[in-house]
Chain A
Amino acid sequence: MRKILRINMMDRSFQFEDVPKAYHDLGGRGLTSTIVSNEVKPTVHPLGPHNKIVFAPGIVTGTAASTSGRVSVGAKSPLTGTIKESNAGSQFPQDLARMGIKAIIIEGYQQDDKYWLIHIKWDEKAKAPKVAFFPADEYLDRGLYEVFPEIFARFGNKVSISGIGIAGERRYLNSGVVFNDTDGRPSRYSGRGGLGAVLGSKGVKFIVTDRTGAPAVPLQDKGIFEQGRKKLVDALRNHPITKPGGGLNTLGTAVLVNIINEAGGLPTHNFREGRFEGAAKISGEAMAQLVKERGGGRMGHPCHPGCIIQCSNIIPKPDGSELVSVIEYETTWAFGANCGIDSLDTIGELTRMTNDFGMDTIEMGGTIAIAMEAGLAEFGDGQKAIELMKEVGKGTPLGRLLGNGATLAGKALGVIRVPSVKGQNMPAYEPRAIKGIGVTYATSTMGADHTSGYTIAPENLASGGQSDPLSLEGKADLSRTFQEATAFIDSTGHCLFIAFAILDIPTGFEGVMEECNGVLGTNWTVDDAIRIGTEILKIERAFNESAGFTKADDRLPEFMYYEKLPPHNVAFDIPDEELDSVYGKM
C-alpha cells in the first residue's frame, strides 16, 4: 500500500498517511501541483512557515519502465512567485517508489538555525520505511563535491541523496534541489525556481534514501504493463533522436548548439544577437571531439539507472581527468554564447562551481550575462566570470546579489534588458527567432521555461492536428496542447525526451498509457493524456491567479518587442490577444 510521508520540521515529527482517493491516479507533477494547490495558500511567502515542498516520483517510476527515473519537486517558487514543478533524473525517486512512498510533503519552518539530514531506510522487519533525523551541522557552508562522498561513506554507496548546497542555506533565489547521478556526483538538479531555498527554509539539508531489501513496485496488471513497456522500449530504440547511437546519445543535448546557432536563434551576449561566433567550439560536436582527443571523458552517460537515451556526458580536462559532468545544451549556452565565452574548459569550470554551490546553471549564466551587460565584466571574459562565481560562493554582498538570479540582479544593476518571464531567466532559444517557443515562455505556468512545451503526435493533440503549424494562430493552439502534453509526461515519471520518439512512433505513446494502466489499474487511452494534462494546467493556472498573476504577466520583456535581433532582424510580434488565447481557449 503506497503512503504519503508527511514531515513537519517544527518538531521533526512525521507520519505515513493513506493516499486520498483523489490522489490515487496522480504522480510526479500532477501530484506535486495538486498537493501544493490543496495545501498552500497562494499568497504565502515562499520562504515562510506556510509554504510546503513536495517530492513525488512519477506514476511508473521505480518499475522496469524504461527512462522513468524522474522526480518532481513542487512548491510555491521564491524566484517566480508562481506554483513550481522542477524535474530531475536520479535514483532517488526510484528509491521512494520502491519503498511505497508516493510523495514526501515537508512542512513547517527551520527551528534554532539548525539543519537536519532526513534518513529514510527500508525496514525489513516492519516491511515499511523507517525515518530518522540526524544533525547536519558538519555539512554546512561546504561544497557539495566535498560533502557527497562523506555521506556515501557514512550511509553506504547504494543510498541516494537529495538536498541543498550553500545557495539553499543562504536562501538564494537561484538555488536548486540536488540529486546524485549514477556515479554519486552532485550533478542532477531540480534547478529551476529556487526550490533549494524552500527546502533550506524548512531546515532540511539532505534527504538520504536507502531502499535495500524493498520489494518491487506492485502492478495492478502485469500483462498490460509489460506490453506497454516493450512498446516504449521499441520506440526509444528505433527513433533517430533517442536510440543508442542517435543524436542525444552521441552528442548530448548540446547537439542543438550549432543547429540553433545556424538558425539565428542562439541568444548571444545577453540576447543581443542570435548567432555566436564561437558556437562551434562549445557545441555537442566539440564536446565529442574533446572526449575523443583527451580521453577520460564520456558521451552517452545516464542520469538514472534504466535510461535508454543516455544523453548526459563527462567532460575531461586537457590531461584526461574529469572536469565536470554534465554540460547540457542550456548550460553550455548559458555560460558560453550568452556570456560570449567560447571555451569548454571555462564553461566546465563554471558548471562545476554552480553544481558545487547547489544552483541552476541557466539562471546563473543568465545572471553573469546581466552583470556583463552592467559592466562588471566584459563579454567573453571567462576569468572574470569565474571570479564573479567565487563571489557567489563566498556570499559577499555582490555574490549574494548575483545568487538571487537575473531579474533581481538586473534591477539592482540598472539593466533594462533582462530576458525573464515571471522572474525566471529565459533558456537557450531566442523567442524572436523561434516564435513558437516565445508563446510558451510567455504563458507557461512556470515562468520562462523550455521544458513546458513538448509535443506529442498531432492526431492526439486537443486541436486534432487541425492547426496550421505555419500560421500565427497555430502557434497559440500548438503551445497550449504542447503544454498539456508536457504536464502529462511530467506526471508519468518518464523523461520528457521520450516525447521525441512517441511523437513519430504512435505505438510508443500507446505503450506509455499501457504502462500507467498496468501500475494504476486504469483504462487510459492516448486520448486521456491531454485531458489529464489540461487538468494539471488548470490547477497550476488557478494557483497563479490567486497568487496575483494576470494575463499582463504572460508577456515577454518589453525590449524584445522593439529591439530587432540579428541575423534575421526581427522583433517579437505575436499579438497579446494571441498569447491570451493560449489559456483563454483552454
Chain B
Amino acid sequence: MQDGLLLQEGVIMMIDVWLYGEIASYSGNTDAGAYAHLEMEMTPGSTMRDVLSRLCIPAAERGPTFINSALSAMSGLQPDLGHVLADNDRIGIFSAVSMWPYQYRFGAKMTPELAAALKKLPGGGLHHAYDAEG
C-alpha cells in the first residue's frame, strides 16, 4: 500500500533487473543459480551506477549489459554508468565471462552512449573484447 503511494507520487520507480551467470549471486541470494530476477525500487533520476552500487557489483565483474534490449556496455567498455533510468526500465547484466562476438551484434540496437564510445575506437569498435575503459 505504501509502495503504491510512493509510486503514485513519483518518489520511487521500479526497475526490472535480470542478472545472469555468476553475477546472479549479487541478487542477495548466494545460491541463486543460473540467473536472478529482481524488481528494484529506485528513486527517480537513478543511474546505472546507482543500480550497480546498490547490488555491490564490481565493474571488473560486469560483462555485456542491456537497457531495454539496447546494448549499453561490454567488459572493459562501460559508458553507461551515468545513464539515467526510467520507471519500468529493464536491465540485463551479465558476468564478465559472457560474450557477444561482433558478427552476431553488428546492426543490433545499442544505447547512444555506447554507440558514441565505439565510434571513438579504431575501426568503430570492431572487436570482440575491449580492454580499455570507455
Contact = CB atoms under 8 A, between A and B. Distances in A.
A482 B103 contact: yes
A241 B34 contact: no
Interface residues of B, number: 40
Contact of A458 (B24, B71, B118, B122): B122
A436 B107 contact: yes
Interface stretch (A24-32, A89-97, A258-266, A413-421): A258-266
Contacts of B115: 470
Contact of A256 (B34, B68, B100, B118): B100
Nearest to B75: A240
Contact of B108 (A275, A434, A453, A468): A434
Given A259-B64, A429-B104, A454-B103, A246 B97 contact: yes
Given A433-B109, A458-B122, A260 B34 contact: no
Contacts of B94: 258-259, 262
A465 B64 contact: no
A470 B103 contact: no
Contacts of B35: 258, 280, 283, 285-286
Contacts of B45: none
A358 to B, nearest CB: 28
A453 to B, nearest CB: 5
Interface in A414-453: 429, 433-440, 450, 453
B100 A503 contact: no
Interface in B96-129: 96-109, 115, 118-119, 122-129
Contacts of B119: 470
Interface stretch (A38-46, A138-146, A247-255): A247-255
A248 B118 CA distance: 24
Given A241-B99, A263-B71, A500-B101, A475 B107 contact: yes
A436 B122 contact: no
A260 B66 CA distance: 10
A455 interface: yes
A140 B35 CA distance: 44
Nearest to B95: A285
Interface string B1-34: 0000000000000000010110010000000011
B92 interface: yes
Contact of A240 (B97, B109, B123): B97
A507 B68 CA distance: 37
A118 B42 CA distance: 68
A239 interface: yes
Contacts of B123: 457-459, 465, 469
A567 interface: yes
Contacts of B125: 469
Nearest to B22: A285
A469 B118 contact: yes
A475 B106 contact: yes
B88 interface: no
Which of A275, A281, A450, A455 gathers the greatest number of chain B CB atoms within 10 Å?
A455
A504 interface: yes
A264 B66 CA distance: 10
Contacts of B99: 240-241, 247-248, 255-256, 259, 500
A568 interface: yes
B61 to A, nearest CB: 13
A402 interface: no
Interface in A373-427: none
A258 B69 contact: no
Contacts of A567: 68-69
B109 A568 contact: yes
B128 A263 contact: no
A325 to B, nearest CB: 19
B113 to A, nearest CB: 13
Contacts of A450: 104
Contacts of B122: 458, 465
A504 B128 contact: yes
A285 B109 contact: no
A569 B130 CA distance: 30
A263 B101 CA distance: 13
Interface in A520-556: none
A259 B107 contact: no
Contact of B105 (A263, A274, A454): A263
Which of B75, B100, B118 gathers the greatest number of chain A CB atoms within 10 Å?
B100
A204 interface: no
Which of B20, B92, B115, B119 gathers the greatest number of chain A CB atoms within 10 Å?
B20
A283 B18 CA distance: 14
Interface in B55-105: 64, 66, 68-69, 71, 75, 92, 94, 96-105
Contacts of B75: 240
A259 B66 CA distance: 9
A285 B33 CA distance: 8
Given A263-B71, A264-B109, A283 B34 contact: yes
A288 interface: yes
A289 interface: yes
B18 A262 contact: yes
Contact of A251 (B98, B107, B108, B129): B98
Contacts of B66: 262-263
12 contacts: A239-B129, A250-B97, A258-B35, A259-B98, A260-B104, A283-B20, A285-B35, A433-B108, A436-B108, A450-B104, A469-B118, A470-B119
A-B pairs, 7 with minimum CB distance: A435-B107, A458-B123, A436-B107, A436-B106, A262-B92, A264-B69, A285-B34
Interface of B: 18, 20-21, 24, 33-35, 64, 66, 68-69, 71, 75, 92, 94, 96-109, 115, 118-119, 122-129
